[in-house]
Structure 1
Amino acid sequence: MTHHTNLSNIGVIGLGVMGKNLALNIADNGYHVAVFDLDTAKVNAALEQEHQERKAGLAPRMQACNNLSEMLDKLVSPKVIVLSVPAGSIVDGICNTLIESGINSEDIVIDTGNSLWTDTVEREAHYQGKFKFFSSAVSGGEVGARFGPSLMPSGDESAWQYVAPIWNAIAAKVDSKTGLPIERFEPGNPVTEGEPCTTYIGPAGSGHYVKMVHNGIEYADMQLICEAYQLLHDGIGLSTYDIGDIFKRWNQGSLNSYLMGISAEVLQQKDPLTDKPLVEMILDKAGQKGTGLWTAVSSLQIGCPAPTIAEAVYARAISTQKSLRVSLSNTLMGPQKATLTEAEKTDFINALEDALYCAKVCCYAQGFQLMAMEAKEQNWTLNFAEIAKIWRAGCIIRATFLQSITQAYVENPQLANLLMAESFSSALAAKQLNWRKTVAASVMQGIPAPCIASAVAYYDSYRCETLPANLLQGQRDFFGAHTFERTDKPAGEKYHLDWSAKVRTLVKM
């Protein structure tokens, strides 16, 4: 991609937190960026930051545009425009303005917002012939956008070929041998070595679907850590700072992850106003943007079990019912709290570490199986080893654990469920007793651990050759003549028992 005098390589529309940081990241990597936002204060802030961060003697790498037709005039062809705006109708508003401003069929518009994947599929079809509508989910928040996010692009393959050099440049990087992130948070000095955390995911919508599932896993992962915190705090009476120390230690082992690291940091933060631990001053009502909810809904629609992800969404919902919880906490009886010896507390802490690992395996297994089932439904060919790879840095669920997932899919790309991978099944077998002890303790202590407990049920359900769904089918046949298959007859043959007759006869349907 060559640079022409006064022309920019790429345009960025929307200079909120993510848009501004993406634009600066692109500029850091040697590209010239044209920027636009309806709010001129945001444009000025972006230009000012670029000016401050630019090395002495370098020409400006960012130019402002007053409107979209001016942006089109300032870009080399084919024009590449990045949208960093809220999902929904605003995306179509901008696309229509670009059409009115003279965008052409070879130009590329990239939606980087958290759009619902089905909207992305519809948009690509709708704008065909006008321009190439392309999408790329972005994970990693503000710092990721600035110094290297995980990017999940999907859509027109020729559009991907054209934007790939930019995407490879701005993405987070990992060491190919260890799978650990290579990080440098210095403006003007981007990481250029290592494997980039981006890969072409597949046809329209697939990138946003993969990002949606990433967020569903993120919900579960965060909730698992929160449950561990409550079990340590309310269950065995540890101080917030002590729990921060335990999380720090866990972060050195198999639970090493971005979320574990920041949880330790949050727990060890003092409140500037009261000098108490900050977390104890934060109201226990959790918000959500909807992507975790979409993941749970998608799993229900396609019939893919993802109970741990769904429980994480429910946990946020119940957290918002604060006043009801306050009143019920005074009326609903709980168990007598047990007092533990120091040795018992140490045992519990060790058991909880194993429980967290096992539950985490199950929540990733649910996410990857969900992607596989939807891919089959949509005729997408998803490369799960590559997806696990691009989540190793830049994104919120980055963890050393993803190296093992990558390995599992490299060894068997057709893996139906992560629990089938020998590395995971043997780890779960070794740690399961501690997992079960943790769930039993949470129930006996009356401390909710919906995600850790649902993960055990998920694991045990897959261990069951025979589930009680045989009785369920009997019930359905009794009240609704829904028929059933038999264990001693060919698959697909349906039978019904005439339950109301004096002599109950079996009828082959």
Structure 2
Amino acid sequence: MSDNTHKCDIGFVGLGVMGKNLVLNLADNGYKIAAFDLDSEKVGAAMAQDVAENKTGVPRVVGCSSYTELLSQLKSPHLIVLSVPAGAVVDQVCQNLIGAGIHPDDIVIDTGNSLWTDTVERETKYKENFIFFSSAVSGGEVGARFGPALMPSGSAYAWTRVKPIWSAIAAKVDAETGKPLERTKPGEIIEHGEPCADYIGPAGAGHYVKMVHNGIEYADMQMICEAYHVLREGLGLDCEQIADIFAQWNEGVLDSYLMEISVEVLRHKDAETGKHLVDLILDKAGQKGTGLWTAVSSLEVGCPAPTISQAVYARSISSFKDLRGETSQKLSPPASVTISEDEKQDIIVQLHDALYCAKICAYAQGFQLMKLASVEQNWDLNFASIAKIWRSGCIIRARFLQSITDAFERNHKLENVLLDDFFAEQLSNYQQNWRLAVARATMIGIPIGAISASLSYYDSMRSAVLPANLLQGQRDYFGAHTFRRLDKPENHKFHVEWTEAGRPIRKI
């Protein structure tokens, strides 16, 4: 190939599960791909699947055996997408591309779950070699294949080149209703609707937003699991009964991808034993770090995110399987309580309302964290746009994200979702059942840390006065850390010698 006419539109490095599906998604949307992976079998598998699914008979995926060949197959200026593990691998690929002769006006897009600070550093590190751009991807294997949510950030110029491609492959929602417009088979294209992809901001912003998305995802998953735990262990319901309840919940305000897949997980039977597979899965949760990063960032920024943090803790405590087995024999449960069938129905309703309220608070924490980070980093994030991106394609897609979009469109300066009239009313209407659900779970000894953390967050946020006055007294007592007074100007600080009654307070 001697000119751009016959060359590939996009280079792609990394053909794992996500990478291969993104390649096929790009191909469905009319792009010709030059693909490379250190594992040649993955390249062959991607090419074979393209041939099997391609109705035109013209190969859309061209396999490459080296970085040099990859660049030679591409139109100029080059556009190269990376789908490789976060961390050192990203830099290794970038160095290999430099060695292969990449140009300064070429664009390299990192689609992995990189730590946002690494992305900031890479944009500066490689600016003399190429344009480093990033675009976090959410939606898992199916999302990558048929329409993910995309959170691009970095060079505004690079975005002008990437936008048409990302708009084509992204998930779509109906502009009028906000409902997902889903494609489910190869070759199917949705040409109308709003794409779940929009420019987030400068370098690092997109990966930060994806990090918080994953933190909310941790919280959402944990709260659904806590509801399951109450229904299974507290009420004694079986998998099919709980699946029926979750399916019913998914018809209303709790409509979400995570609720939908929870129903399928609960119904799935093990082919070998015939039992419900979920009953055979070891109760030790894994994690890849993004939820932890969100919790750490919330502490660094000084933004409370207790529900997200508790979800991280819940995964950690699940890993102590042997210790939990030992302590379960040592620590006594609460006194057993008989629950009537009528009471069970009441608890199910209460649990539904608790899950809804707790979910609102988890999202409120995530959006406030992004808002404070946006101010700190001077990103000027558009939160209505972020909520729109998350309406389809991503793991936390849910019906009520349209309500969050509406809230930020009503007031783009909204400091916290809880201040929006719609959400304040929702929490007010359902909070009594929320409290009853937490109380009931506590009395029967079922841990619901994330749902409880959301309730404590709600009560803290609605409290004009908190006991931090005593805390400041304690700090001044042992460390002379000073305090401010309600009856004095706030910029004045005071200290007192607490051990001698009557000692005067000194202004500092």
When the two structures are superposed, what TM-score results if normalisation uses the length of structure 1?
A: 0.98
- 2:450 is equivalent to residue 442 of structure 1: no
Question: Equivalences for 1:176-187 in 2 at 5 Å?
Answer: 176-187=175-186
What is the CA–CA distance in structure 2 between the aligned matches of 1:277 and 1:18, rounded to whole Å?
Answer: 28
Question: Equivalences for 1:276-287 in 2 at 5 Å?
Answer: 276-287=275-286
Provide the residue aligned with 1:14 in structure 2.
14
Aligned residue for 2:136, secondary structure, equals: strand
Whichever residue aligns with residue 36 of structure 1, its letter is F
Provide the residue aligned with 2:257 in structure 1.
258
- Give ranges in structure 2 of 5+ residues lacking alignment: none
What is the CA–CA distance in structure 1 between the aligned matches of 2:188 and 2:326, rounded to whole Å?
Answer: 55
Aligned residue for 1:443, secondary structure, equals: helix
Provide the residue aligned with 2:43 in structure 1.
43
What is the CA–CA distance in structure 2 between the aligned matches of 1:407 and 1:331, rounded to whole Å?
Answer: 51
What is the CA–CA distance in structure 1 between the aligned matches of 2:270 and 2:102, rounded to whole Å?
Answer: 51
What is the CA–CA distance in structure 1 between the aligned matches of 2:379 and 2:340, rounded to whole Å?
Answer: 54
What is the CA–CA distance in structure 2 between the aligned matches of 1:160 and 1:330, rounded to whole Å?
Answer: 58
Aligned residue for 1:425, secondary structure, equals: helix
Provide the residue aligned with 2:111 in structure 1.
112
**Cα gap change, 1:96 to 1:506, in 2 (>3 Å):** same
Task: Using the TM superposition, give the Cα deviation of residue 498 of structure 1 relative to its aligned residue in structure 2, in angstroms.
Answer: 2.3
What is the CA–CA distance in structure 1 between the aligned matches of 2:9 and 2:415, rounded to whole Å?
Answer: 42
Is the 8 Å Cα contact of residues 255 and 399 (structure 2) preserved in structure 1?
yes
Whichever residue aligns with residue 41 of structure 1, its letter is E
What is the CA–CA distance in structure 2 between the aligned matches of 1:386 and 1:337, rounded to whole Å?
Answer: 49
What is the CA–CA distance in structure 1 between the aligned matches of 2:142 and 2:190, rounded to whole Å?
Answer: 14
Segments ≥4 residues shifted beyond 3 Å: 500-503
What is the CA–CA distance in structure 1 between the aligned matches of 2:306 and 2:371, rounded to whole Å?
Answer: 17
Question: Equivalences for 1:56-205 in 2 at 5 Å?
Answer: 56=56, 58-205=57-204
What is the CA–CA distance in structure 2 between the aligned matches of 1:398 and 1:430, rounded to whole Å?
Answer: 24
Superimposed CA distance per residue, residues 435-481 of structure 1 (whole angstroms, 9 cap, x where no aligned partner): 00000001100110000101010000011111000000000000000
Task: Using the TM superposition, give the Cα deviation of residue 291 of structure 1 relative to its aligned residue in structure 2, in angstroms.
Answer: 0.3
Aligned residue for 1:11, secondary structure, equals: strand
Task: Using the TM superposition, give the Cα deviation of residue 5 of structure 1 relative to its aligned residue in structure 2, in angstroms.
Answer: 3.3
Question: Equivalences for 1:21-420 in 2 at 5 Å?
Answer: 21-56=21-56, 58-420=57-419
Whichever residue aligns with residue 23 of structure 1, its letter is V
What is the CA–CA distance in structure 2 between the aligned matches of 1:472 and 1:501, rounded to whole Å?
Answer: 19
Is the 8 Å Cα contact of residues 480 and 495 (structure 2) preserved in structure 1?
yes
Task: Using the TM superposition, give the Cα deviation of residue 499 of structure 1 relative to its aligned residue in structure 2, in angstroms.
Answer: 2.6
What is the CA–CA distance in structure 1 between the aligned matches of 2:149 and 2:211, rounded to whole Å?
Answer: 13
What is the CA–CA distance in structure 2 between the aligned matches of 1:41 and 1:303, rounded to whole Å?
Answer: 47
- 2:435 is equivalent to residue 431 of structure 1: no
Task: Using the TM superposition, give the Cα deviation of residue 337 of structure 1 relative to its aligned residue in structure 2, in angstroms.
Answer: 2.2
Aligned residue for 1:330, secondary structure, equals: helix
Superimposed CA distance per residue, residues 381-440 of structure 1 (whole angstroms, 9 cap, x where no aligned partner): 100000000101100000111000000000011111000011000010010000000000
More deviation in 255-264 or 73-82? 73-82
What is the CA–CA distance in structure 2 between the aligned matches of 1:293 and 1:202, rounded to whole Å?
Answer: 23
Provide the residue aligned with 2:454 in structure 1.
455
Whichever residue aligns with residue 138 of structure 2, its letter is S
What is the CA–CA distance in structure 1 between the aligned matches of 2:487 and 2:8, rounded to whole Å?
Answer: 70
Whichever residue aligns with residue 72 of structure 1, its letter is L
Task: Using the TM superposition, give the Cα deviation of residue 81 of structure 1 relative to its aligned residue in structure 2, in angstroms.
Answer: 0.3
What is the CA–CA distance in structure 2 between the aligned matches of 1:91 and 1:478, rounded to whole Å?
Answer: 51
Whichever residue aligns with residue 17 of structure 1, its letter is V
**Cα gap change, 1:345 to 1:88, in 2 (>3 Å):** same
More deviation in 265-274 or 312-321? 265-274
What is the CA–CA distance in structure 2 between the aligned matches of 1:89 and 1:53, rounded to whole Å?
Answer: 34
What is the CA–CA distance in structure 1 between the aligned matches of 2:76 and 2:380, rounded to whole Å?
Answer: 31
Whichever residue aligns with residue 197 of structure 1, its letter is C
Whichever residue aligns with residue 18 of structure 2, its letter is M
What is the CA–CA distance in structure 2 between the aligned matches of 1:108 and 1:489, rounded to whole Å?
Answer: 57
Aligned residue for 1:482, secondary structure, equals: coil
Whichever residue aligns with residue 216 of structure 1, its letter is G
Is the 8 Å Cα contact of residues 4 and 74 (structure 2) preserved in structure 1?
no
Whichever residue aligns with residue 50 of structure 1, its letter is D
**Cα gap change, 1:361 to 1:502, in 2 (>3 Å):** closer
What is the CA–CA distance in structure 1 between the aligned matches of 2:278 and 2:21, rounded to whole Å?
Answer: 28
Identity %: 62
Give the CA RMSD over aligned residues.
Answer: 1.0
What is the CA–CA distance in structure 1 between the aligned matches of 2:4 and 2:26, rounded to whole Å?
Answer: 17
Whichever residue aligns with residue 226 of structure 1, its letter is C
What is the CA–CA distance in structure 2 between the aligned matches of 1:162 and 1:326, rounded to whole Å?
Answer: 56
- Give ranges in structure 1 of 5+ residues lacking alignment: none
Provide the residue aligned with 2:470 in structure 1.
471
What is the CA–CA distance in structure 2 between the aligned matches of 1:229 and 1:386, rounded to whole Å?
Answer: 32
Superimposed CA distance per residue, residues 194-219 of structure 1 (whole angstroms, 9 cap, x where no aligned partner): 11000000000000000000000000
Aligned residue for 1:5, secondary structure, equals: helix
